[in-house]
Amino acid sequence: MAFGQFSSSDKQMTAMSDINVTPMVDVMLVLLVIFIITAPLMNHAIQLELPKAQSVAAPMQAETITLSFDARGALYLESELLKLSELDARLALLAKKNPQPELLLRADKETRYEVIAQVMATAQAQGLSKIGFAIEAKSPRTDKK
């Protein structure tokens, strides 16, 4: 017989140590053909001559309006004392500005949350969506050991 494993001789059978590279070469040639065909298609671009403009867009910075609450619940718009009944009209004027200002809430730690929640609800009802809270950063501890 012509097959090595089926021979009738008393030779010991050994493992085949050669790597068959034919399937790998076939796959590599197929990939090469695919890349040769698709490479020119990747560089396809439309040539355009775009118009030129002289204007430069200037970014508009949003104004920050500070609302402060003291421990008794008094409300200050910037540094002006304001009643809750006047707040609705003032926030309506601020909401009409372009760009819309950012609202920064500064509250004493003893202020009732109810007052702050009413102001936030009023601001959102008027269309002011950028609302932030001011806090005081803690100083890092210096522990002595």
Q: Is residue 5 part of a domain?
A: no
Task: Find all residues with CB under 8 Å of 112, minimum gap 6, and list them.
Answer: 73
pLDDT digits (tens, 9 = 90+) for 57-77: 666 677 888 999 888 878 899
Output the average pLDDT for the chain.
81
Q: Is residue 70 part of a domain?
A: yes
Burial class (CB in 10 A: 0-12, 13-18, 19+), 67: buried
What whole-number distance in Å separates Cα of residue 110 and Cα of residue 135?
A: 13
Residue 1 has pLDDT above 70, yes or no: no
Residue range(s) defining the domain that contains residue 102: 64-133
The model's pTM is 0.52
129: domain CATH number is 3.30.420.270
The count of structural domains within the chain is: 1
What whole-number distance in Å separates Cα of residue 115 and Cα of residue 70?
A: 11
pLDDT digits (tens, 9 = 90+) for 10-67: 567 777 778 888 999 999 999 999 999 888 777 766 666 666 767 666 666 778 889 9
What whole-number distance in Å separates Cα of residue 32 and Cα of residue 125?
A: 64
What whole-number distance in Å separates Cα of residue 96 and Cα of residue 100?
A: 7
Model pLDDT, residue 110:
85
Q: Is residue 55 part of a domain?
A: no
Q: Is residue 47 part of a domain?
A: no
Stronger pLDDT, 132 or 10, i.e. the higher one: 132
Q: Is residue 83 part of a domain?
A: yes
